């Protein structure tokens, strides 16, 4: 539904993490009234307050229903035409708000396919998209049958989490039962999946009118789960667009988003290429921009900033206009990032001309490189990884639950 010309379109954004600044700026530049609701913890974050019509905070840890009360109180005196969750952990809250206020966008059922690991696996498998064998953790007879008829080890994953937070590896079938007993009623909020050894890839997508307009395939260095749980340096890089892996990833990515019903927006999807047979399997997806400075990697490779394009998509939908991609480059980029022992890591020894971005974050060391050559980017990251381990690397235990 298009907004009338008597007032500016009003976009209400929610983020319990400090991110999405480029979205906020772009939506404001396109002529929208932009309101941001974040937590009190991030009240003094690096927000573009000059671009915001209104800025509000809420206590940490509110339930979705409490956020609903907060937003409906705000809506008594202000129009809201679109609700956008800038972080994955706010997607369910945004869906609840849309349902309650009868606003366009993904409702609670549609959102589940991009938050609930059981829902997305079930829908993908039903559409013929390859996924690792999995089982719901509901009926224990079904769980026993699954463990008896599949090859371990297995991964016990929270259905609504992100990254590697809360994932537990199960080596023997009997090891699952103490974990489920400890979880109690929360056991059904997990999915049990066969661990597939392989290389992990991700695709950053832009969809409009159920058509994937942009799909940038990337390869992680070490799997993110390994980096988070065992430590190490995070790297990712754009794949050679003509490579067999990139072609296969674009195909399974398009099939996955079609199976899950993605209409329009940005997505971050992960896939694994199994060592056993070289086939790609769908792991998970999210209706958001990729974290860990992936957006910047995409921008330095293609000229497309996923945050800004997401804003352009939302505004086009509001105005009843057609969204079109910007002009794209065909360069390549990659990043290397780790927690650092030093509060302000000294990166001056890294001076290659391909370095285009230095991460400005306390106790983090990070670089982004860009080149016309995918091979050059790969070579630089392979050299930087061991150096980062020596020069900066520090380790922090992975939390069982997300913290903003």
Report, in angstroms and rounded to the nearest whole number, the Rg of the chain calculated over CA atoms: 21
Q: Quick check: 257 and 207 in contact, CB under 8 A?
A: yes
Tokens (6 digits) for 97: 């708000």
Q: Where are the beta strands (DSSP E) in 137-243?
A: 154-158, 168-170, 190-194, 198-208, 211-220, 234-238
Per-residue pLDDT of the chain (404 residues; tens, 9 = 90+): 455 557 899 999 999 999 999 999 999 999 999 999 999 999 999 999 999 999 999 999 999 999 999 999 999 999 999 999 999 999 999 999 999 999 999 999 999 999 999 999 999 999 999 999 999 999 999 999 999 999 999 999 999 976 567 899 999 999 999 999 999 999 999 999 999 999 999 999 999 999 999 999 999 998 776 666 567 899 999 999 999 999 999 999 999 999 999 999 999 999 999 999 999 999 999 999 999 999 999 999 999 999 999 999 999 999 999 999 999 999 999 999 999 999 999 999 999 999 999 998 899 999 999 999 999 999 999 999 999 999 999 987 655 565 55
Q: Quick check: 377 and 333 in contact, CB under 8 A?
A: yes
Of 284, 257, 307, give the one whose Cα is nearest residue 116.
284
CA distance 101 to 179: 39
Half-sphere exposure of 271 (CA within 13 A, CB side): 29
> Phi/psi class of residue 7: alpha, beta or left (left: φ > 0; alpha: ψ in -120 to 50)?
beta
Q: State the pLDDT at residue 182.
A: 96
Of 101, 98, 100, give the one whose Cα is nearest residue 110.
98
Q: Quick check: 367 and 335 in contact, CB under 8 A?
A: yes
Q: Count of H helices and E strands in the chain?
A: 12, 16
318-340 residue pLDDT tens: 999 999 999 999 999 999 999 99
11-20 residue pLDDT tens: 999 999 999 9
Domains, in order of start, for the chain: 10-112 (3.40.50.20), 133-194 (3.30.1490.20), 198-391 (3.30.470.20)
Contacts of 356 (CB under 8 A, 6+ apart): 300, 333, 368, 369, 370
CA distance 168 to 157: 7
């Amino acid at each position: 539904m298009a907004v009338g010309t008597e007032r500016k379109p009003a976009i209400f954004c929610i983020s319990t993490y400090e991110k999405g600044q480029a979205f906020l700026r772009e939506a404001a530049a396109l002529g929208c009234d932009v309101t941001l609701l974040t937590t009190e913890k991030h009240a003094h974050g690096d927000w573009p307050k000059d671009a915001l019509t209104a800025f509000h905070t809420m206590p940490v840890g509110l339930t979705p229903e409490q956020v609903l009360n907060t937003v409906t109180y705000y809506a008594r005196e202000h129009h809201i035409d679109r609700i956008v969750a800038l972080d994955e952990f706010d997607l369910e809250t945004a869906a609840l708000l849309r349902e309650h206020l009868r606003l366009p966008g993904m409702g609670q059922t549609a959102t589940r396919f991009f938050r609930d690991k059981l829902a997305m696996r079930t829908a993908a498998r039903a559409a013929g998209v390859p996924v690792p064998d999995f089982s719901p953790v509901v009926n224990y007879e079904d769980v026993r049958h699954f463990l008896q008829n599949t090859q371990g080890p297995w991964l016990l994953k929270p259905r609504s989490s992100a990254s590697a937070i809360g994932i537990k590896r199960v080596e023997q079938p009997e090891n699952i039962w103490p974990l489920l007993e400890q979880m109690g009623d929360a056991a059904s909020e997990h999915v049990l999946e066969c661990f597939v050894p392989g290389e992990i890839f991700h695709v950053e997508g832009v969809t409009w009118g159920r058509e994937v307009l942009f799909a940038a395939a990337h390869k992680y260095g070490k799997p993110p789960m390994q980096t988070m749980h065992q430590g190490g340096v995070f790297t990712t890089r754009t794949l050679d667009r003509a490579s067999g892996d990139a072609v296969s990833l674009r195909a399974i990515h398009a099939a996955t988003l079609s199976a899950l019903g993605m209409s329009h927006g940005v997505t971050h999807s992960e896939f694994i290429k199994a060592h056993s047979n070289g086939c790609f399997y769908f792991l998970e997806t999210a209706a958001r921009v990729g974290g860990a400075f992936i957006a910047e990697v995409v921008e330095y490779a293609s000229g497309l900033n996923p945050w800004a394009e997401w804003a352009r998509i939302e505004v086009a939908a509001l105005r009843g206009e057609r969204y079109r991609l910007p002009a794209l480059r065909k360069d390549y980029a990659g990043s290397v990032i780790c927690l650092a022992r030093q509060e302000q890591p000294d990166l001056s020894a890294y001076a290659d001309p391909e370095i285009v971005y230095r991460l400005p974050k306390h106790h983090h060391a990070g670089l982004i490189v860009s080149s016309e050559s995918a091979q050059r980017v790969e070579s630089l990251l392979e050299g930087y990884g061991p150096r980062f381990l020596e020069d900066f690397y520090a380790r922090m235990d992975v939390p069982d639950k997300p913290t903003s």
